[in-house]
Structure 1
Amino acid sequence: MPWKNTSSLRTGRSFDLGKMTLPQLWMAYLTYPTILLYFGLIVASALAALHFANGVWGVILPIPVVIAIYPLAWYMIHRFILHGRWLYRNPITATLWKRIHFDHHQDPHLLDVLFGSPANTVPTMALITMPVGYLISGWAGSFAALSTALVMTCIYEFFHCIQHLAYKPKWQWVAKIKQLHVLHHFHDENGNYGITNYVPDRIFGSFYREARDRIRSRHVFNLGYDLEEARRFPWVMKITGSPPRDKPAGARPERSTQTTPN
């Protein structure tokens, strides 16, 4: 039976990770415009690093440094910017916040909003990593650092897709990080901010292992942008065209716990 959820560069139709298999994810991932752009930028920045290099160490040394700082940078961005409430309270930044994270929590299986917009992600990667690389070995190090950040982003995004995929990983480590990320999306958003690396979560006290470790958050799908907030700061709701959801699309209404007397 043909898969009816196929997307392509020609049709532009959306992928629903909740209905895809691992081979279908590979097809989607390797043909997705954002990932293809990242691949091109990896090659371009690597060639630029080689062009400016005076020796091999000027290209190599920034790589482990970026690998070490990248998880911390991602953690800080995810926790204090993507999950911050200050962006949606300003009409100028409300659209940005909606695109970079609110839409993803409203519909965690939609691939279109899982990947960040390159207009936002690439400058952020460059701002974080290129100065570090430049301090190590000038422009060669700067472009080597950017290339490393792009490679890590591609890896992060692939595992991020798997964490939202209708697929049970056979590799224990992948199954574990998937479980932790699912908790972030479906139990309590105020924790487990990592994708593949949860060391910063452990250091800053936001790590939790199981659902029973925390009370379920009522803002896990709307990030605090509930109906009350939408009335006070309506810009995201106006762009969406509908009130914010407090549960996934298509979720059944919660059953009442009250019993009917005999």
Structure 2
Amino acid sequence: MNKAESNMKSEGGSFWTKSHYLDRMNLKQLIIAYFQHYTIIAYLLLTALSIGVFIYYPAQILPTSLSILAALVVYPLVWHLLHQYVLHGQWMYKFKFMSATWKRIHYDHHQDPNHLEVLFGALHTTLPTIAVATLPIGFALGGIGGAAAAFAAGLLITCYYEFIHCIQHLAFKPKYQWVAFMKQRHLEHHFHDEDGNYGITNYFWDRVLGTYYERKDRKDRSPTVFNLGYTEEVAKDYPWVKEMSGGIASGHPRRRSLEDNKKSS
């Protein structure tokens, strides 16, 4: 039994009573953590509820299939646009009432990309997004049943996205080339240049919208890859994220962690 598993056992299986970092975990530990996280449990319960609604208000096969297909097509585009223009947009932290949300849903993740607790999306932001992206088109195609089918598809796609996202930060070499490709593009987004590779599992829209890149295409690393452009200069005018974060950290998160440990010892 390794240290992480020992902690889980000693705490009565309560995995989320302490912080966890994906670069220190193995795949088994990740899978256990994944299915214990409240967001994944919520997505799966809502999927079951959506299936129940579909059974009660069934749609015909064609509208149902089109509703699910629409969710599969629309979801990657919606995620790309939100990732590029909302999460990486230089505007949320400029409003005090939105600064805490931006800090939680993306700034913290880029400050330390391997911190598991802040990797999962918050339900109060993900569920409305999934609903807006799937319910209207599903209802237009197949009424209540079509909406339920599209919403269920969106929820399951989100579960897939979250798991792949975790794997991309896990300290292991993927066995399959298609997973290794996604992992490399995403790690470039986090550790080389944040201005590109906005897709998580699908880089089709990055190619279409001109934001796809490979590290060899961009020689220099972005100086704002870990703070998303929220620098000390910016914080002079918009201090709220800095105040909530206890300052603005710079440099690689693991090196920062080593420096903090030296200071505290």
TM-score by length of structure 2 reads: 0.90
Q: Shift of residue 74 of structure 1?
A: 0.5
Read off the aligned partner of 1:121 and give its amino acid letter.
T
Q: Which residue of 2 aligns with 1:183?
A: 188
Q: Which residue of 2 aligns with 1:259?
A: none
In the alignment, is residue 87 of structure 1 matched against residue 87 of structure 2? no
In the alignment, is residue 244 of structure 1 matched against residue 251 of structure 2? no
Equivalent of residue 47 in structure 1, options 47, 52, 70? 52
Q: Which residue of 2 aligns with 1:213?
A: 218
Read off the aligned partner of 2:25 and give its amino acid letter.
M
In the alignment, is residue 3 of structure 1 matched against residue 3 of structure 2? yes
Q: Shift of residue 23 of structure 1?
A: 1.2
Aligned CA RMSD, in angstroms, stands at: 1.7
Cα 1:49–1:58 change in 2 (3 A) is farther
1:59-118 deviation line (CA, Å, top 9, x unaligned)? 332011110111111000000000011000000110110011000000100111101111
Q: Which residue of 2 aligns with 1:16?
A: 21
Give the distance between the partners of 2:256 and 2:119, measured in 1 at CA. 24
Equivalent of residue 204 in structure 2, options 186, 195, 199? 199
Read off the aligned partner of 2:129 and give its amino acid letter.
T
Q: Which residue of 1 aligns with 2:131?
A: 126
Q: Which residue of 2 aligns with 1:142?
A: 147
In the alignment, is residue 230 of structure 1 matched against residue 230 of structure 2? no
Give the distance between the partners of 1:221 and 1:11, measured in 2 at CA. 25
Q: Shift of residue 252 of structure 1?
A: 6.5
Give the distance between the partners of 1:208 and 1:96, measured in 2 at CA. 28
User: Contact 1:17/1:111 (CA < 8 Å) preserved in 2?
Assistant: yes
1:210-244 deviation line (CA, Å, top 9, x unaligned)? 2453431100000000111112100111112x222
Q: Which residue of 1 aligns with 2:81?
A: 76
Q: List gaps (5 residues or longer) in structure 2.
A: 258-265
In the alignment, is residue 164 of structure 1 matched against residue 169 of structure 2? yes
Number of paired residues?
Answer: 252
Cα 1:99–1:183 change in 2 (3 A) is same
Give the distance between the partners of 2:66 and 2:192, measured in 1 at CA. 40
Q: Shift of residue 133 of structure 1?
A: 0.5
The percentage of counterpart residues that share the same residue type is 43
Equivalent of residue 61 in structure 2, options 52, 56, 61? 56
Read off the aligned partner of 2:240 and give its amino acid letter.
W
User: Contact 2:4/2:29 (CA < 8 Å) preserved in 1?
Assistant: no
Cα 1:44–1:252 change in 2 (3 A) is closer
Q: Which residue of 2 aligns with 1:256?
A: none
Give the distance between the partners of 2:226 and 2:249, measured in 1 at CA. 7
User: Contact 1:99/1:113 (CA < 8 Å) preserved in 2?
Assistant: yes
Q: Which has the higher helix share?
A: 2
TM-score by length of structure 1 reads: 0.91
Equivalent of residue 108 in structure 1, options 98, 107, 113? 113
Greater CA drift, 120-129 or 52-61: 52-61
User: Contact 1:227/1:244 (CA < 8 Å) preserved in 2?
Assistant: yes
